[in-house]
Amino acid sequence: MDCRRERSPCRLRLELPFWQNWYYLLVERAPGTPATGNLSFQIGVQLKDCSQVGLSRPQFQLTGSNLNMPHSFGSVGGLASADTLPPSPLNGTQHPLPPSSPPASSERCWPIRPTLRNELDTFSVHFYIFFGPNVSVPPDRPAIFAIHLLPVLDSGGILNLELRLNTSSLRGKNATVFACLNHEVPLASEENASSITCQTELVAGFLLSINATAPLARLRIPYPQTGSWYLSLRSFCTTDRGLESCGNMTAEVYLRTYLSPCINDCGPYGQCKLMRTNNYLYAACECKAGWSGWGCTDNADAFSYGFQLLSTLLLCLSNLMFVPPVVIAVRSSYLLEAAVYIFTMFFSTFYHACDQPGIVVFCIMDYDVLQFCDFLGSLMSVWVTVIAMARLQPVVKQVKVKGQHRWVHTLPWHTPG
């Protein structure tokens, strides 16, 4: 709000101030005002407590001058909190004013139900409601719940919200439950509302609706802003005059709120990974097979099924190159080397078949077992080949004697015969 064109006094009224936040007031000289001398001004702040009708916190007038202080502080500490008043100013006085008139009858304040926090793992947190997860939405007022996200710990995951309506609680009425999820300030719908919105000039939120036709609604917010989130549930019935209160009907809603590292664990076309950048830890999906999106659900550039099948077959059939070494080892009576080559060919084929992204996947056993056997077989294949081709004297080596194999420990003073 710019008071340069307003007459004195300049007034500003905030219907929904952000909770537990500071508001900054900038007071400076208007252009053309002489810079000599002190400029006096007064700032009056009044906070109303909507939980008790007729009760408001005392209003204070902050009087000050000497505008040579930094603009962020004004001349008298021009900071006002949404729920507390600043301490005594440096260069000013406080004069309590008589309490103002009580708030209008339309101004209402509803109780807010907290949630319990249960940390399971990194970016895996569940928020539980007292006497939940089924909550009752009364017909005459909203049901408001608070979700507190901790700084750094909760900003790198996905905030998930799931609402499921119990259609049997509607008693046959054409009712709709609207949900508003806002940050820092709750926003509830008014009675007899012609249209439901979750935003004002200063507040913007997320709107969800559930009814008998669509009883399930989900919302996912990647990398949510930390602080307090407020969920407001309000039920309305559709009549000839629009949306009105539902009389004595109480809707029952199943509410589930939790934090997860990735959306649906990135699905079949991705892998959820934890990353760290500039001391910030966050989770993200690493998509494969041309898929993209927050949860690897965007198939605009995805590979076709035929392309995925062809890639998998070419990769798996490439292990047939082990067949010639196996035949040569068997014909040369190197049975140990042949067994190692067969072992490597078998597990390498099924490991790559299980490691493919997308739906062209075939796993005969656990992925970790296949991976370990593939790495072990590759390493052993290299070593048995090197040992078989090496010409070393003091080693334990498999040799050929009269078409049979035996182990001979060759020493410097012993010559095998």
Residue 403 placed within a domain: no
Of 49-53, 158-162, 183-187, 303-307, the one with minimum mean pLDDT is 49-53
- pLDDT tens digits for range 239-274: 777 778 877 888 899 999 999 998 888 888 888 888
Residues 237 and 350 placed together within one structural domain of the fold? no
Q: Which of 134, 362, 390, 115 is nearest to 259 (CA)?
A: 115
117 and 251 co-located in one domain:
yes
Whether 176 and 74 map to the same domain: the answer is no
What is the band of 83 on the pLDDT scale with cuts at 50, 70, 90? Answer: very low
Identify the CATH number of the domain in which residue 161 sits. 2.60.120.680
128 contacts 115 by C-beta, under 8 angstroms:
yes
Q: pTM of this prediction? A: 0.60
Q: Are residues 217 and 149 in the same domain?
A: yes
pLDDT at 289 over 70: yes
Q: Is residue 136 part of a domain?
A: yes
What letters, b where the CB count within 10 A reaches 16 and e where it falls short, cover 180-200?
bbbbbbbbbbeeeeeebebee
- For residues 4 and 81, membership in a common domain is answered with yes
Distance, C-alpha 72 to centroid of its chain: 33
Q: Tell me, what's the pLDDT at 255? A: 92
Q: What pLDDT was estimated at residue 148?
A: 92
Residue 40 lies in a domain: yes
Whether residue 100 has pLDDT greater than 60: no
Verify that 96 and 161 share a domain, yes or no: no
> 44 lies in a domain?
yes
Helices (H) and strands (E) in the chain, counts: 4, 21
User: Do residues 253 and 154 both lie within one domain?
Assistant: yes
Instruction: Identify the domain boundary among 77, 100, 123.
Output: 100
| Position 272 in a domain | no
Kindly state whether residues 125 and 238 are assigned to the same domain: yes
Report the domain count for the chain.
3
* Distance between CA atoms of residues 176 and 199, nearest Å: 19
Q: Which domain holds residue 347?
A: 305-386
Residue 88 has pLDDT above 60, yes or no: no
pLDDT of residue 127: 93
Residue 207 in contact with residue 197, Cβ under 8 Å? Answer: yes
